[in-house]
Amino acid sequence: MESVRSFSNTRGVSLNIILSSEFSNSESSYNGGPAGGGWNPERIRNSSFINCSGYGNTGDGIDFDGESEDITLYSCSFDGNSGSGVELNGTRVNLINVRCSGNDSDGITLVGATNCLIQGCSLIDNASDGIDLTGTSDDISIKSCIL
């Protein structure tokens, strides 16, 4: 999926049971409502998000719900959201050169995540933590980030 834009919906982009896919140069911004949020991927496997963004959403910029694995976010931005920039519960997730700033919660929230790499990320000016490790998060590597 390339060059997709989603604005002012209850939920921005909902993805459910996606395998071996690439999302690039796509934006999901200013979405809100009870379920709110920009990107809402669930059960995503072996997929990447390249140069994607989520701005000004009610809820998280991108929220990976359970059972997501082998995911890469590269050069993405999630700024000014009412929740976290990135919230994830997954396995083998790489966040490389991701920017999360000005969010009303954490830059990145890991909830029970395992075997994850956060590298070269800028996680500044968020209302709570730059990175919040919650639950039983395990085997997390954080390298060369600005917090």
Q: Tell me the pLDDT tens digit for each residue of 57-97.
A: 999 999 987 778 999 999 999 999 999 999 998 899 999 99
- pLDDT per position as a tens digit, 108-119: 999 989 999 999
Averaged over 22-34, what is the pLDDT? 83
Closest by alpha carbon to 121, among 71, 90, 81, 86? 86
Contact between 116 and 92 under an 8 Å Cβ cutoff? The reply is yes
Q: Which residue has the higher pLDDT, 126 or 27?
A: 126
Average pLDDT of the chain?
88
Share of the chain above pLDDT 90, in %: 63
d(CA 44, CA 128) in angstroms, rounded, equals: 27
Give pLDDT, residue 38. Answer: 85
Gap between the Cα atoms of 42 and 125, Å rounded? 28
24: β partners: 2, 50
Share of the chain residues as helix, strand and coil, in percent rounded to the nearest 5: 0, 55, 45
pLDDT given for residue 137 in this prediction: 83
Reported as a single tens digit per residue, the pLDDT across 33-45 is 655 688 888 889 9
Encoded tokens for 57: 């959403």
pLDDT above 80 for 4: no
| Stated pTM of the model | 0.90
pLDDT at 51 over 80: yes
Residues in the chain: 147
